[in-house]
Amino acid sequence: MTFSCPHYDYNAEGCRKLKVECIPGRVGCVLRGKIKVSEDIEKRLRELEKTNTRRKKRQEVL
Ligand code: SF4
């Protein structure tokens, strides 16, 4: 990564705030809406959104 975030845990290589993999701009990230991310990260964010949408739909059915 070519940035520095106070929430990034270099030992665990993840987000200390969200306790998940660091994907800058993800829901809950302090940088969400404040930065322009690379195409690769945009793709990962879209995949994450799809996964979250599928999970929400499954929960609505239950
Ligand atoms: S997900 Fe966001 S808040 Fe968490 S470490 Fe990465 S850049 Fe920082």
| Whole-number pLDDT of residue 2 | 64
As given in the structure block, the two tokens for residue 28 are 């809950």
- Across the chain, how many H-helices and E-strands are there? 1, 2
Q: How many CB atoms lie within 10 A of CB 38?
A: 10
Distance 22 CA to ligand 1 centre (A): 5
Question: Do the beta carbons of residue 7 and residue 16 sit within 8 Å?
Answer: yes
Nearest CA among 50, 29, 36, 51 for reference residue 21: 29
| Whole-number pLDDT of residue 60 | 86
Q: Which of 11, 22, 34 to mutate to test the pocket of ligand 1 (most atoms within 8 A of CB)?
A: 22
Which tens digit of pLDDT belongs to each residue from 2-58? 678 999 999 999 999 999 999 999 999 999 999 999 999 999 999 999 998 888 888
In this model, does residue 1 exceed pLDDT 60?
no
State how far the Cα of 62 lies from the Cα of 59, in Å rounded to an integer. 5
